[in-house]
Amino acid sequence: MPTRKASAIWEKGLQNGKGSFKGESGTISGNYSFGSRFESAAGSNPEELLAAAEAACFSMALALGLEKNGTPADKVETSAACTIEKSGDGFKITTMSLVVNAKVPGIDNAKFQQIAEGTREGCPVSQALKGNVNITLTAKLN
């Protein structure tokens, strides 16, 4: 299996500094700062990247679970919200809230919820966060 890479640069101090990141593929990159991470300034931040990773991973893993069930999805759309909070002298990512809407012909809601919950527990990014971040899920059939 492949190993994926990314890099980041930070210049200057925490509150006056600025940073940038990029993925090896060249398809993701951005700038971030104290303001874009802990306030509402323009720019990206690590939590946004983590939320994107979780949403993408969850969508793919749910599609796989539904396909294995014999009820492939027409569409799986997942949004993720990653929360960082003050913790002692530092900060901690505390919650990842997932909301998934899926169009899945031929499945009842109970089975869909079971597969979605299994995906919350089993997708690779969720597994990486498990035990450290509270992952919540709201799953809806369209």
pLDDT of residue 105: 98
How many helices and strands in the chain, by DSSP H and E? Answer: 4, 6
Q: State the pTM of this model.
A: 0.94
pLDDT of residue 4: 96
Distance, CA of 130 to CA of 54 (rounded, Å): 12
Distance, CA of 63 to CA of 132 (rounded, Å): 25
Buried b / exposed e across 112-129, counting CB within 10 Å, b at 16+? beebbeebbeebebbeeb
Distance, CA of 20 to CA of 31 (rounded, Å): 4
Measure the CA angle with vertex 57, ends 18 and 73; round to 5°.
140
Measure the CA angle with vertex 97, ends 131 and 31; round to 5°.
95
Q: Round to the nearest angstrom and report the end-to-end CA distance of the chain.
A: 34
Residue 131: pLDDT band with limits 50, 70, 90: very high
Average pLDDT over every residue of 105-115: 98
Q: Which two tokens stand for residue 125?
A: 């990014």
pLDDT of residue 79: 98
Structural domains in the chain, sorted by start = 6-38 (no CATH), 46-141 (3.30.300.20)
pLDDT of residue 61: 98
Q: Mind listing the pLDDT tens digit for each residue in 50-87?
A: 999 999 999 999 999 999 999 999 999 999 999 999 99
Residue 30: pLDDT band with limits 50, 70, 90: very high
